[in-house]
């Protein structure tokens, strides 16, 4: 194994939403940042990628929203709810400085964020799979990565951030304990469908079923169906007939949406996630911290994962910037980060658990209204935060 003599301020493990955003904020604050990821970019990943208002607020505050829109992701200005044969359409009003929602494909969004991190000064190494951590006196001081074409290499840093997703290698290596969790047997399947009649975000509610559509690039929408796992068994077991099984089930529980799927063009295979976990992990320890799905994951029924990642990236970046400037000790900064993160996620985590029980539609709709109110409060809080430290404004072009 070779070892680098260079000691970075921060190594970020993971180059997607959470990792790229964290790296960009830290690099813009003047820190020496290395991003490692085992994969290639740009590339897709499992995600339904509809951004709540808070996520759009963060993109706007970071100077990246126009780039997302210029990429071809449509500005969404209406949301329609369907329940029991009736529908209600609401306009996305201006609030917290934004008047739209957006659902960019992940291979576009993640690449824009990673490019912004590079422009801010972060070094990026793709094809580098982290397999271990280096410790000194119980403190994480670097990572071991298997570099494509170069064998194992030790990279040293004063702090390591795990942003490597739900099945985080770093969280496992540092044995980040779970501090909150609940069990929910809910699964989701989705596909991309091209159709002329995608006007805005859609949510279709029926007993034991929650479906929807998020317009995205190329005239397509991400069309998804979430149900208790047992009800989705016909789709899971359909093999080569999965697309037909999914479309038939969608038409049964959300007829109007199913009709458009049938008359549209299927632009992808049907993909899905089976009963994803719902947990909050410890946010950090000596020499390490977690951000995004690596630190906190819940069922996508509340559609908030990217917004969570953006919010926590800024909270963590602010804390680490204070550590490197000498304003806070690492222990104090990580304790503050965990407290702020856990406070921010509390409402959504609670509502996710309630929604994942799939109560009767009237109660489900009440919980959705409560969720919408919580997300609006969060967006206002994010919009009121001070501008991120450093030189973001000079890195937008």
Per-residue pLDDT of the chain (397 residues; tens, 9 = 90+): 888 789 999 999 999 999 999 999 999 999 999 999 999 999 999 999 999 999 999 999 999 999 999 999 999 999 999 998 899 999 999 999 999 999 999 999 999 999 999 999 999 999 999 999 999 999 999 999 999 988 999 999 999 999 999 999 999 999 999 999 999 999 999 999 999 889 999 999 999 999 999 999 999 999 999 999 999 999 999 999 999 999 999 999 999 999 999 999 999 999 999 999 999 999 999 999 999 999 999 999 998 999 999 999 999 999 999 999 999 999 999 999 999 999 999 999 999 999 999 999 999 999 999 999 999 999 999 999 998 866 664 454 3
Handedness of CA 358, 362, 367, 369 (dihedral sign): positive
Please report, for residues 16, 43, 50, 79, 104, the alpha-carbon distance to residue 112 in angstroms, rounded to integers and kept in the order given: 10, 12, 16, 26, 11
Structure tokens given for 221: 């929408």
* Size of the chain in residues: 397
CB 198 within 8 A of CB 204: no
Stated as kind and residue range, the H or E segment containing 265 is: strand 265-266
- 3-state SS assignment for residue 276: coil
Phi, psi of 66, deg, nearest 5: -65, -35
How many C-beta atoms surround the C-beta of residue 278 within 10 A?
Answer: 20
Question: Which domains, from first to last, does the chain contain?
Answer: 2-182+276-395 (3.50.50.60), 186-273 (3.30.9.40)
How many C-beta atoms surround the C-beta of residue 379 within 10 A?
Answer: 22
Distance between CA atoms of 4 and 213, rounded to whole angstroms?
47
Cβ-in-10-Å burial (0-12, 13-18, 19+) of 67 comes to: buried
Distance between CA atoms of 76 and 73, rounded to whole angstroms?
9
CB 267 within 8 A of CB 119: no
């Amino acid at each position: 194994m070779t070892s680098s003599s260079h000691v970075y301020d921060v190594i970020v493990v993971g180059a997607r939403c959470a990792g790229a955003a964290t790296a960009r904020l830290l690099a813009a604050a003047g820190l020496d940042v290395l991003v490692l990821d085992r994969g290639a970019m740009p590339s897709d990943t499992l995600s339904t990628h509809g951004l709540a208002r808070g996520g759009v607020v963060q993109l706007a505050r970071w100077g990246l929203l126009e780039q997302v829109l210029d990429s071809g992701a449509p500005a969404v200005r209406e949301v329609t709810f369907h329940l029991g044969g009736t529908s209600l359409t609401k306009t996305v009003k201006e609030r917290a400085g934004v008047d739209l929602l957006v659902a960019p494909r992940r291979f576009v969004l993640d690449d824009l964020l990673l490019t912004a991190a590079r422009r801010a000064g972060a070094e990026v190494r793709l094809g580098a799979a982290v397999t271990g951590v280096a410790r000194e006196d119980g403190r994480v001081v670097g990572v071991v990565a298997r570099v494509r074409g170069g064998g194992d290499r030790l990279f040293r840093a004063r702090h390591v951030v795990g942003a490597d997703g739900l099945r985080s290698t770093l969280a496992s290596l540092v044995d980040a304990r779970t501090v909150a969790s609940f069990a929910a047997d809910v699964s989701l399947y989705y596909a991309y469908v091209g159709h002329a009649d995608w006007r805005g975000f859609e949510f279709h509610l029926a007993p034991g079923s929650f479906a929807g559509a998020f317009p995205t690039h190329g005239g397509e929408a991400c069309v998804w169906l979430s149900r208790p796992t047992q009800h989705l068994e016909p789709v899971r077991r359909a093999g080569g007939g999965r697309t037909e099984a999914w479309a038939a089930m969608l038409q049964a529980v959300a007829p109007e949406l199913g009709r458009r799927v049938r008359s549209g063009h299927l632009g992808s295979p049907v993909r899905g996630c089976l009963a994803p976990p719902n947990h909050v992990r410890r946010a950090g320890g000596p020499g390490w911290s977690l951000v995004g799905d690596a630190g906190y994951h819940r069922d996508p029924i509340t559609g908030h994962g990217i917004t969570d990642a953006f919010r926590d990236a800024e909270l963590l970046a602010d804390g680490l910037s204070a550590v490197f400037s000498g304003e806070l000790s690492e222990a104090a900064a990580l304790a503050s980060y965990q407290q702020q993160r856990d406070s921010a996620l509390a409402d959504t985590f609670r509502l996710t658990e309630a929604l994942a029980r799939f109560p009767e539609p009237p109660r489900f709709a009440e919980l959705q209204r409560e969720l919408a109110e919580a997300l609006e409060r969060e967006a206002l809080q994010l919009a009121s935060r001070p501008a991120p430290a450093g030189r973001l404004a000079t890195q937008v072009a």
